[in-house]
Amino acid sequence: MATSSASANVFQKAFNDKGKPMEVRLSNMTAAKAIGDAVRTSLGPKGMDKMIQTPTGEVIVTNDGATILKHMAVLHPAAKMLVDLSAAQDVEAGDGTTSVVVLAGSLLGAAEKMLAKGMHPTIIAESFLKASAKAVEYLTEISTPVDLNDKSALLRAASTSLNSKIVSQYSSILAPIAVTAVTRLVTTSSSNVDLRDIRIVKKVGGTIEDTELVEGVVLNQNVIGSGGGPTRMEKAKIGLIQFQLSAPKPDMDNQVIVNDYRQMDKILKEERTYLLDMCKKIKKTGCNVLLIQKSILRDAVTDLSLHFLSKLKIMVVKDIERDEIQFLSKSLGCKPIADIQGFTEDKLGYAELVDEVDASGARVVKITGVKNPGKTVSVLCMGANNVVLEESERSLHDALCVVRCLVKKRALIAGGGAPEIHVSRMLSQYAQTLKGMEAYCFQAYADALEVIPTTLAENAGLNPIAIVTELRNRHALGEKNAGINVRKGLISNILEEDVVQPLLVSTSAIELSTETVALLLKVDDYHMTR
């Protein structure tokens, strides 16, 4: 009898092997927390920046969480999930990419403590998801609705986003640009803005202060001046062509051997007449500005065709990228023309002036006074060198996203760690009304939310424990908008300091990070496939 029960015991043990799932969970959590700690120092206005060197040798200096993680060579599958999480936040809200990863890391830490106490992962995951739904409710309660015509509210939100970036001292220039750009695309009924309609053209030259919003369109390319054509054109009629102004070429490489001069002359003459024919057709429609799409198989323009075009006083811009065609045809009101036969006047766009200007050391083509413009915006982004320029563009993109969030969900909440502490307090109170395991999980979730104010204080060189305790105390006394004022290093009413963020940034950060944590908790085994 004893032997049979012993063998059953062995069988039971083999069946309920708790070792591996626990190992897998712990390894996943450790990896994911490591990612969280890597970007944690770059949170907030006093956060540090990271310097990344790409394999090509290019140097990137940034403190945008999504950019840092995108360039990190992450091998562990669980850590890759956090990289995807920050990318998801970048798509959904555009800002708060660092906070979402830090939050996920903190929640994983809380979950790990509860797993060590022997709680079941499914219970933890479910309670966390319930807690996140509650948290979003509490956030929505303290938010203030915003009207899109109230420019000052939008400006405050955009400046807050820019304050945590390297270019923070220029936020007075970049914030109005972001607000104007987005509000120009918004209709009263629209619930979203397509940021592809906002085009940021980067040029090295000048300083960030020279960044401007252009009435009309800015081109990435320069005017071709080699043929002696015009570089300025008033009352422009713009043609956007997708065919090539060069002699036709067979698809396969083949050689024709010509051993007679007359044949040779004939070939050259044929080429000239062919090109001249095309150029005359173009001129006949009254077109005087040509935008030519980049071509791979044969030259988009040859010296000969350039010569003809300059004689006919037609301004030429070549190498327009495939993905710019849609934007340009939308902005200029012209249709892309795929064949010379289809080149008719109704497909042209009209503008008052196409001019190549010298903007502090960089040559830029501006098209202004477009006759029937589509809803698009062009921003000319300047910077002293590539590193600054790239970061300035990323910051501007984040600011645009913040304004877009306000279009999606028209509400603002305070920043500076205030909403997190408020939600944390409310969840703790709510946890006391629950029973059993769930109450523990809610309490742990509430504590985990405090990582944001703690990190903000740490990065600003303040004493995190003292600051967060004081913050809790202020909130307990009923100051819902008390937050960390990083500039003065004390607690103050954050709304008076104009530190605000869109509701969508915080809610989507909480939802996305909780979902990722729940997903990681439910993983209990890991296999490599060949």
Residues assigned a catalytic role: 64, 97-98, 398
3-state SS assignment for residue 206: coil
- Nearest Cα to Cα of residue 414 among 508, 477, 506, 510: 506
474-485 burial: b if 16+ Cβ within 10 Å, else e: bbeeebbbbbbb
Residues 6+ apart with CB under 8 A from 48: 41, 42, 63, 459
- Nearest Cα to Cα of residue 345 among 356, 357, 337: 337
Q: d(Cα 448, Cα 444) in Å, to the nearest integer?
A: 6
Burial of 149 (0-12, 13-18, 19+ CB in 10 A): exposed
Q: d(Cα 80, Cα 520) in Å, to the nearest integer?
A: 11
Burial of 491 (0-12, 13-18, 19+ CB in 10 A): buried
**Torsion sign across C-alpha atoms 258, 260, 264, 266:** negative
- The string of DSSP letters for 397-440 reads HHHHHHHHHHHHS-EEEE-TTHHHHHHHHHHHHHHTTS-HHHHH
Question: How many Cβ atoms from other residues are within 10 Å of residue 165's Cβ?
Answer: 24
Q: How far apart are the first and last CA of the chain?
A: 46
Residue ranges of the alpha helices (H) in 117-236? 121-142, 151-163, 171-185
Residues 6+ apart with CB under 8 A from 515: 129, 132
37-63 burial: b if 16+ Cβ within 10 Å, else e: ebbbbbbbbbbebbeeeeeeeeebebb
Q: d(Cα 243, Cα 339) in Å, to the nearest integer?
A: 6
**H, E, C per residue of 184-198:** HHCCCCCCCCCHHHE
- Tell me which amino acid residue 203 is: K
- Which tokens belong to 514? 């909780």
Determine the angle formed by the axes of helices 503-522 and 77-92, rounding to 10 degrees.
160
| 480 neighbors 142 (Cβ within 8 angstroms) | yes
**Torsion sign across C-alpha atoms 446, 408, 41, 79:** positive
